[in-house]
Structure 1
């Protein structure tokens, strides 16, 4: 069994840059810390550090081991939290993972509206990493726009409409809806392809044989909205409007273009029942806020 204390010592040396600095942070004598490092290397049968000019420098193997060590410590901390909740027979605190936009537009308003006290923390991730964070045990459930793997239990949380956001005085500003074929005749401010909105838009235009011009591409939806407000182009997004932008729905074959948001978690999670209850309440909230549940 791997000694977690040795992993903490190892990461302290990595993070502080030396055994001397780590010993002060850990309140462990320097000779003892050096022995513990050698013990970890012996247990792993790996050389984690090389000595260069009297300094410890991570080897290639050591650099590869750093994220593994961090992951193991994170899982151990999560396990202690779970055991504590089980021992107390109380409603566990839940951590949700999701992209920044999902956290700010859905999770934060849900908590502010009186969401369950058990939803205690969030982990903001890239859109691609949501389910990986859940699989590593760093969050109890995740909210993502890609279809979760079959190894996770998953439910549709909401189908969010995609909008063409423009200034109020734009030719589309007084429209409640606009057809996809008309949207592509305007210069577009698009999100990059890591966003589900962009992928859904591209799939719809490809299916209909349409092309479009992108005048700017933004990683952040808020930046895309700012560019639209500055008159640079039509921002394609599912975010709540900002900067006094109008938001006509984008229609495809008479139906709103939408992006599906999923909630996913480990089907064997000790708090699976509480997660389902939280997801059900979150679904009700998002249905009222966005519709298309």
Structure 2
């Protein structure tokens, strides 16, 4: 009886061991299967960084899209950036982490080294084109001389004196674009005082005149482009007979400069046309 009972115990033990052997791999596999929400259970900082400033690392991928598996089962679970980022000149740069210090918030962690230009231009191609096609002292500067922090736009007055004490940072950008500063262009909202900061004499004459030009904005005549000088006929048409215009082809010959119409300084007078010398009326012998 005791022998029979012992035999049954051995049989049951063998069956139990066999069942465990069959179930153990499934249980191990179940334990090894990870989900993105599992990562935060151990790794607190990276998920927090992704949530704060992950950009597309937050919206387009999960932890497991980059980190395939987990150590020690997966020994190469730190991916290369080129695994996803390819097809653009910027992605061909080496040592991504020199600038993007934290891949979990790649833009917020961007740190620019001093005297850096070429890496910037692989993304900012429009700015590179403007600097090349419009040479100025800005063209010879390193990008990081002005943009020492990514996306930082410095105040012009940090380096440049404003044209007048009334001018603020916003006034600079109305006429000067940082990557082509000498290609002065402006809109209809630039006041005469801004123009007069450089063109002092012209503004003084215009302010003192009694003609209708006094109420006209500088940018109305000198439209869109700096140093553009319009023809008077653009606004006034042809007021005088053709014969008179032939004698006096320039309006200013009679009307003085546009900023000071019909006002001649003391001792000055309108330019006379060069008329043909009068005949004496005497007949040749």
Q: Pick the structure with greater CA Rg.
A: 2
- TM-score range (shorter-chain normalised) is under 0.3
TM-score (norm 2): 0.24
Looking at secondary structure, tell me which structure has more strand per residue: 1
TM-score (norm 1): 0.24
